[in-house]
Amino acid sequence: MPHDIDPRLLRAFTAVAEELHFTRAAARLYVAQQALSRDIRRLEHTLGTDLFTRTTRQVALTSEGARLLPYARRVLEAHDDLSAAFGPDPRRPPRPLLVDVGVPMGTAHEILEDARRAAPDIELIARYHTGLTGAAAELLAGRLDVSFGRVAGLPPEVRSRLAHQPVRYEAMAVLLPADDPLAARPAVPLDALAGRTLYAGAGNPHTAEWTDLAERLFAGRGIAVAAPFPEIDGSAEFMRVVRKHGWSVLATTEFIDVPGTVLRPITDPVPLSPVSMVWRRGLRHGGLDALRTAARARSAGNCWLERPDHGTWLPDADTQLMSESHKDDRPKKQPSRPLMHP
């Protein structure tokens, strides 16, 4: 029975087990590939067994490696909790935090910029993924640290491994060709979209939570979701495809400018898109703390989480999840101390 296994070796093992690729695992841990391979060999020697089968084309877990993985994850989670309880190691600078903001504008980007100003010594690296469903897989694999989006649209087994903080209810809108008759209106009543087909990301597995929200909104209203279309990668390509096909697009009022189109808010009722900040459970990092503080300040200062009692639409599951999480995330009131009399 081995004793006193260095957590660094378990972290190296877990990264390789999840990536099944030594180069990607080394990049994820910010170490040289040679050092990572050395740590894996040392762990295998300590345990007296091979943890991976390696060929020139692939890396795979052995049966013993698969058996070790859940234990290693639990040990590392406990180790991270211990480190957090007694503060970070001052001898080791924190690694950069990878933050998915989707596009370089809007809610998530504003929070990121606020956090950068508040914590200039912490490196917050922006990533531009599209869709929380796709980002969630990257979060769980450790290739991404923080993302933003609709948590209720994630599968329960994925959501249970993530933590989240409500940030904003974004009002939904429709992106229309400039010559569309509805484009002349300052706002578009939801019923005016009856008989139309709107693009809502169907066919893109990374944005499944958004397509699900659209389908719930359109149900029983005579509005159709456009047929599945291959994933559109990047803002420039999105603009090109939308303009070429003349699509109407379900969006939010926080959306990129697309030449040749107009963005109009949807009313009667105003459908809402719930946005939360999302990260792996157990993640401890000063950058995460800075982001959470920035998100609270933005939400409070702009009343992002104040929802009118009437005139808006949001699925019940989203309403419950956002309200419960918002209640849990509020700063805890410190108990008052009893007065001391001489």
Listed by start position, the domains of the chain span: 7-85, 97-168+272-329, 171-271
Average pLDDT, the chain: 89
Q: Residue 113 corresponds to which tokens in the numbers above?
A: 């910029």
Looking up tokens 């993924």 gives 129
The predicted-structure confidence for 171-200, as pLDDT tens digits, reads as follows 999 999 999 999 999 999 999 999 999 999
The predicted-structure confidence for 245-300, as pLDDT tens digits, reads as follows 999 999 999 998 999 999 999 999 999 999 999 999 888 899 999 999 999 999 99
Please check the confidence at residue 95 and state whether its pLDDT lies above 90: no
User: Of 89-98, 107-116, 142-151, 313-322, which gets the smallest average pLDDT?
Assistant: 89-98
Please check the confidence at residue 331 and state whether its pLDDT lies above 80: no
Kindly provide the residue ranges of all beta strands, DSSP E only, lying in the chain, ordered along the sequence. 52-54, 59-61, 97-100, 124-127, 146-149, 162-177, 188-189, 197-198, 224-225, 249-252, 261-267, 270-280, 312-313
pLDDT on residue 55: 85
d(CA 207, CA 104): 18
Q: Cis omega (within 30 of 0) on the bond before 335?
A: no
In the structure, what pLDDT confidence band is assigned to residue 337 with cuts at 50, 70 and 90? very low
Q: 237, 244, 276: which is closest to 260 by C-alpha?
A: 244
Looking up tokens 């599945």 gives 228
Considering the chain, what percentage of its residues have pLDDT values greater than 90? 69
Superfamily of domain 97-168+272-329: Periplasmic binding protein-like II (3.40.190.10)
pLDDT on residue 340: 35
Q: Into which CATH architecture does domain 7-85 fall?
A: Orthogonal Bundle (1.10)
**102, 256 contact by CB (below 8 A):** no
pLDDT on residue 57: 83
Please check the confidence at residue 329 and state whether its pLDDT lies above 70: no
Measure Cα distances from 69 to 16, 22, 30, 64 in Å.
10, 16, 21, 9
Same fold, 97-168+272-329 and 171-271: yes
Q: For the domain bounded by 171-271, which CATH number is listed?
A: 3.40.190.10
Q: What is the DSSP letter of 337?
A: P
